[in-house]
């Protein structure tokens, strides 16, 4: 998948570019509503022998303006790119949304980025999508603009799941509240986080259970606790694992935390594979919660509990294989 991080970079590749069918949005979480838009875009692009393409705002417009409150995303930019590629997108233009882009009208956006930059033959919009200054580019407006610029516009229906209309906000709330089943329903895949492996304190290794410590780049993660999970190193095959989300209260030097969710650490013990993974990328999918995180009086007590966690995780993952219901976009068994 080709990724362009500016219009200049995209236009500079003009010699190799083909016409595109495009979807535009933040695509945070790439949930089932996004998946419907992307599936229609990919299908239409194949019909037209065009490139299935996405214009992606790095952060949602509502939190990208000055003085906006910060918001942890369901997926970091890198994680989102992986999910978009799995959905069939072959070309992405990433845009930083700020005051300058906010002033661009829907017609200007279509002329500059869609017709001009991507040579769009088609645009696929979600049921409530709007583009341009003041959100003036609704479906009817974009159809008129597209007709003038030479591309067709289609719209997908609202997608309902778990008793309501799917949204990134609903999926975020489900994850933060620990409702993994509801979050999976909204996302169409397991709840997962993607991070870079960084150095930890080495406490797990001393106990005989080395862990992969992840820098998640502000991704939303489930509540504190110990989870049965599967991990993918550099988008590789599923590896059974046990994952702790929390503050490592028993680890030497652990300090009280203000408790902000984004401060929660994620560390994974691989039941198979491993080795020196520092600097590599690991995606962890949460299968089921095993227990709450708690403090232990000694390393021996902690090690004994981790051994029990490993046994319980193996049972949970074996039951998942037996059901043959892998709730993941990869469709791989564990």
Give pLDDT, residue 42. 98
Selected from 2.40.30.30, 1.10.3720.10, 1.10.150.120, 3.20.20.70, the CATH number assigned to the domain covering 190-323 reads 2.40.30.30
Give pLDDT, residue 199. 82
Q: Where in the chain is the domain with CATH 3.40.50.620?
A: 2-157
277 with 213: CB under 8 angstroms? no
Give pLDDT, residue 26. 94
Low-confidence ranges of the chain (pLDDT < 50): 253-262, 325-329, 331-334
- How far is C-alpha 107 from the geometric centre of its chain's CA atoms? 30
Give pLDDT, residue 332. 37
Give pLDDT, residue 175. 95
Query: Which string of DSSP letters, residue by residue, matches 150-195?
Result: T-EEEEPPPPEETTEE--HHHHHHHHHTT-HHHHHHHHTS--EEEE
What CATH homologous superfamily does 2-157 map to? HUPs (3.40.50.620)
Give pLDDT, residue 248. 60
Give pLDDT, residue 66. 62
Give pLDDT, residue 72. 80
87 with 189: CB under 8 angstroms? no
Q: Where in the chain is the domain with CATH 2.40.30.30?
A: 190-323
Give pLDDT, residue 109. 97
């Amino acid at each position: 998948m080709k990724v362009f991080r500016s219009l200049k970079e995209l236009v500079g590749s003009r010699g190799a570019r083909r016409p595109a069918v495009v979807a535009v949005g933040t695509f945070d979480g790439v949930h089932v509503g996004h998946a419907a838009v992307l599936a229609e875009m990919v299908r239409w692009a194949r019909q037209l022998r065009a490139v299935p393409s996405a214009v992606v705002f790095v952060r949602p417009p509502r939190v990208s303006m000055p003085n906006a409150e910060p918001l942890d995303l369901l997926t970091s930019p890198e994680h989102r790119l992986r999910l978009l590629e799995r959905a069939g997108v072959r070309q992405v233009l990433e845009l930083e949304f700020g005051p300058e882009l906010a002033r661009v009208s829907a017609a200007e956006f279509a002329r500059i980025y869609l017709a001009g930059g991507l040579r769009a033959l088609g645009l696929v919009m979600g049921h409530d999508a709007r583009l341009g200054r003041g959100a003036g580019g609704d479906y009817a407006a974009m159809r008129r603009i597209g007709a003038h610029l030479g591309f067709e516009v289609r719209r997908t229906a609202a997608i309902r799941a778990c008793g309501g209309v799917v949204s990134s906000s609903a999926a975020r709330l489900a994850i933060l509240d620990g409702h993994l089943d509801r979050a999976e329903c909204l996302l169409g895949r397991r709840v997962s986080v993607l991070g870079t492996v960084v150095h930890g304190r080495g406490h797990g290794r001393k106990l005989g259970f080395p862990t992969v410590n992840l820098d998640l780049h502000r991704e939303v993660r489930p509540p504190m606790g110990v989870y049965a999970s599967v991990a993918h190193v550099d988008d590789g095959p599923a590896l059974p694992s046990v994952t702790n989300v929390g503050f490592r209260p028993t680890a030497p030097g652990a300090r009280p935390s203000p408790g902000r969710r984004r401060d929660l650490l994620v560390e994974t013990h691989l039941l198979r594979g491993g080795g020196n993974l520092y600097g590599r990328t690991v995606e962890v999918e949460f299968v089921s919660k095993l227990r709450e995180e708690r403090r232990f009086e000694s390393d021996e007590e902690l090690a004994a509990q981790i051994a029990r966690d490993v046994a319980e995780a193996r049972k949970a993952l074996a039951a998942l294989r037996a059901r043959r219901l892998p709730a993941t976009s990869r469709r791989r068994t564990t």
